Structures are given as structure tokens and as C-alpha cells.
Structure 1
Amino acid sequence: MKRYLVPLLLAFLFVFEGLFAQLWPADWFNGDYIFVPRFLIIALLFLSIYGSMKHGIMYGFIFGLMFDMVYTEIIGIYLFMFPLAVYIFWNIMRLVDTNIIVVSVVSIICVALLESGVYLMNLLIHIANMDFSSFSKIRLIPTLILNFSFILLFAYPFKRQFEKFADSLRND
């Protein structure tokens, strides 16, 4: 049963991101900032470190494709970026200590890389029309603040859940 909790958690976060974006009051801060929840990728990053890197990348592909199909008009951006973010994160974490504080800080860095990568891809295909300084001020910084708050609340529960998942994989 524990093996099914991780996919259910990731599916819940996938749906919750969309609901959160819809329910977040647009007029906060006079509507000048865009807060993008990246709760799913944070969970995938924690899964890759405390659970299984193979499962982190596999779920990155699956949920990246689902993210593209549901939330974007171009298939492939998140399909490519989610597993790449997990892979980069995992390789960084091999070089440093894997305590929860370092994992949280590197997770925020990977969220910033994901947001910047998606922005650059959208800029290349002429979907984005703002310069990088505007993007940083309007979207990147508020997104990092929101997601850092999420990490502060859920880092420890994610760590415990994914360690249990890794134990169940080893015991099977």
C-alpha cells in the first residue's frame, strides 16, 4: 500500500497546483506579481533524494507530459524540464550534504532554474514577450517566495514519506 501513496501524493499535488493558481487572489499586491506554485516539482526533487532517483525521473516524465497536456499549449516543455530539473538536482546533491536544509535551498535553486528555463523556451518560440528583468521582478521572485514557504511547511513530511517509500522499495 505504501508504494501507491507516492503516486497519489504526486497526483494530488498536480491537481492542487491548478486549484491553487485558480483560487489565489489575483488582486493581491495590486495584481502586479505572478505567484506560480511549483509544489509538484518540489515533491519530485525530494523524492529523488530521499526516495529513488529512478522514480523521480520517471514521475518527472509522466507528470511533465500531463502538465503540458493540461496547463500549456505546447507539448514538450515540461516533459523535458521536469526530468532535467530532477537530474540536475540529484547530481548537485551527490556533491553536498543531504540534510534537509541543504535539500530545501537546492530545491529553491532548481525551481528558479525551472522557471528560468521555461521562460527562455517560451522566449525562443515567441510566447513570452517580457525582458528578463521584468520576468524576475514580476514572476520569478514571487514564485520563489511562495515555493520556499511551501518547502518550509512540507519539507519534513516529504522527507519522512519518501524515506518510507524507499524502505518499501528495498523490502520488496
Structure 2
Amino acid sequence: MKKFLLPLLFLLLFILESLFVQFLPSDLFGSRILVPRFLFSALLLLTIYVGKKQGIIYGAIFGLLVDVVYIEVIGIYFFLFPFVCYLISKVMQVMQSNIVVVFLATLFGIALLEVGVYEMNFLIHVTDLDFMTFINLRFYPTLILNAIFILVALYPLKRQFEKYAVALRDE
């Protein structure tokens, strides 16, 4: 039963992102674009607290799911989710994993994902926003929204992932 809790948690966060976008009033923040990255934040925390292998595997699975459900170009999230998880695992090998560093590393991972998605979309001409407009309209609001989510969810997810890591070692 415990093996199904982690995928269910990620599936719940995947659905929560959709619900958040659906029920957030669009005129609340003017022309700013807030992109919830709740699932990706949890994937980064999984990578930090459980391990690189699990982060990359879950990142690839849920990256493909995001591509199939939401994106017209298959492969952007399928590539970027595991790649950023890998980079964050390498960063965390050098850094201490206290709660402040984990918070900043997770925000850094979200920033890398956002810039990567923007650059891929810009290269294949899906978007025509210039970089500074992207930074002001989407990047900063997305980081603020996800920083609030990480502050709320960091400790409970940390405890859950540490229990999962212990269960993996015991098997």
C-alpha cells in the first residue's frame, strides 16, 4: 500500500495545479501570469530527500504526463523535469540540506525550469515574448507563488519523503 502513496501524492499535486489555475480569477493580478509548479516542487524535494534516481524517474514519468495533457509539443517537460532534478541533486551534494538551502535550491530549480521552457518555446516559435517581458509578466509572479507553496508544503513533504527514504533502505 505504501508504494502507491507517492504516485498518488504526485497525481494529487498534478490535479491541484489544474484546479488552482481553473479557480484563480484571471483578472486578480492584471496581465501577470502565475504558473503553479506544485508537482515540480515536490519532485525536487523528492530528489533532495530521497535520492537522485527516484527524482529522475518520477520526473520523467510526470514530465511526460504534463506534456501529453497540456502541451502541444511533446518532450519539453519530459526532458526538463528529470534534467533539472539531476542538476539539483548535484547542487545538493555540495550544499548542506538544511531547510533554508532546500527552499532556495527548490526555487532555483523552478527558475531553471521556467527559463528552460521559455527558451524552448522561443526557439520553436511558440512564443514571441521578449525575455524582459517574460521576466516581468511570468517569471517573478511564478517564483513568488511557488515560494509561498514551498513555505507551506516543505516541512510536511520533507517528513513524508524522509519516511519513504527509510522504507526504501529497509527493503
Q: Same fold (TM over 0.5)?
A: yes
> 1:82 — aligned with what?
81
Q: Deviations over 1:110-147 (max 9, x none)?
A: 10110000000000000011101000000000000000
> 1:135 — aligned with what?
134
> 2:21 — aligned with what?
21
User: Matched residues in 2 for 1:8 and 1:2: separation?
Assistant: 10
Give 5+ residue unaligned stretches, structure 2.
none
Stretches (4+) displaced over 6 A: none
User: Matched residues in 2 for 1:165 and 1:82: separation?
Assistant: 21
Residue 28 of structure 1 aligns to a residue in which SS?
A: coil
Q: Deviations over 1:21-58 (max 9, x none)?
A: 111110112x2100000011110010011112211100
TM-score, with length taken from structure 2: 0.98
Q: How does 1:149-168 map to 2 (within 5 A)?
A: 149-168=148-167
Residue 32 of structure 2 aligns to a residue in which SS?
A: coil
Higher relative contact order (CA 8 A, sep 6+): 1
Work out the number of aligned pairs and report it.
171
Letter in 2 for 1:14: F
> 1:101 — aligned with what?
100
User: Matched residues in 2 for 1:166 and 1:154: separation?
Assistant: 18
RMSD: 0.8
Letter in 2 for 1:10: F
Answer whether contact 1:45 1:89 (CA < 8 A) is retained: yes
Give 5+ residue unaligned stretches, structure 1.
none
Identity level (%): 53
> 2:70 — aligned with what?
71
Q: Deviations over 1:83-106 (max 9, x none)?
A: 011001100011110111101111
Letter in 2 for 1:17: E
- CA shift, 1:80, in A, is 0.2
User: Matched residues in 2 for 1:57 and 1:3: separation?
Assistant: 17
Answer whether contact 1:2 1:168 (CA < 8 A) is retained: no
User: Matched residues in 2 for 1:22 and 1:67: separation?
Assistant: 16
